[in-house]
């Protein structure tokens, strides 16, 4: 029996769905090409009231090991996300290999399993392991809102939320 490993695109799609189920009201995936000063291109980035959550998707160990060499990983203060998680197929990354402050999610079949470093709602706002790069997060949000304005849909922000 051959085991089908997920593609990067499948992991990213699953990461975005997981962020939504985790309570993030605004979620961007890697299709959204916003510029950050650090050059970081998040695979999935979610915003919940007062909190930003980054998920980096890794399909292989080699990809994970290469990620450690990125400027934004060498200098965590440059990165986005108050909370940062890796999502990978089971066993690709071991909990003891995580950078300080990072959490780990495993993709198993069609589900995402919390492995380590995933806060409950009570800790989400007050136990942040990182101070997400607010300037870059604002760049991402501004870029998204600017696109809404350019397409003539900005007035909808004045309508009550359902």
pLDDT at 35: 73
DSSP 6: P
Q: What's the chain's average pLDDT?
A: 92
Q: What is the pLDDT of residue 115?
A: 96
Of 128, 125, 114, 130, residue with least CA distance to 40: 130
Question: What pLDDT, on the 0 to 100 scale, is given for residue 125?
Answer: 87
pTM: 0.92
Domain ranges (residues) in the chain: 8-158
pLDDT for the residue numbered 72: 92
Predicted confidence (pLDDT) at residue 159 exceeds the cutoff of 80: yes
Residues 55-104 have pLDDT tens digits of 999 999 999 999 999 999 999 999 999 999 999 999 999 999 999 999 99
The domain 8-158 is placed in CATH, from the list 3.40.50, 3.30.420, 3.40.1350, 1.10.3470, at 3.40.1350
> Cα(26)–Cα(151) distance, rounded to whole angstroms?
19
In this prediction, residue 3 carries a pLDDT of 60
Q: How confident is the model at residue 4 (pLDDT cuts 50, 70, 90)?
A: confident
């Amino acid at each position: 029996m051959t085991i089908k490993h997920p593609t990067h695109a499948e992991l990213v799609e699953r990461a975005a769905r997981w962020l939504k189920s985790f309570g993030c009201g605004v979620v961007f995936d890697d299709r959204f090409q916003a510029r950050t000063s650090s050059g970081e291109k998040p695979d999935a980035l979610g915003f919940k009231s007062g909190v930003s959550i980054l998920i980096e998707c890794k399909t292989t160990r080699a990809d994970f090991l290469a990620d450690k060499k990125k400027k934004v990983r060498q200098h965590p203060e440059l990165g986005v996300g108050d909370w940062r998680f890796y999502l990978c197929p089971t066993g690709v990354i071991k909990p003891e290999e995580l950078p300080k402050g990072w959490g780990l999610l495993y993709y198993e079949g069609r589900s995402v399993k919390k492995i380590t470093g995933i806060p409950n709602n009570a800790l989400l706002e007050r136990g942040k392991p990182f101070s997400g790069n607010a300037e870059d997060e604002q760049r991402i949000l501004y870029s998204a809102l600017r696109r809404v304005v350019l397409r003539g849909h900005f007035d909808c922000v004045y309508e009550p939320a359902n």
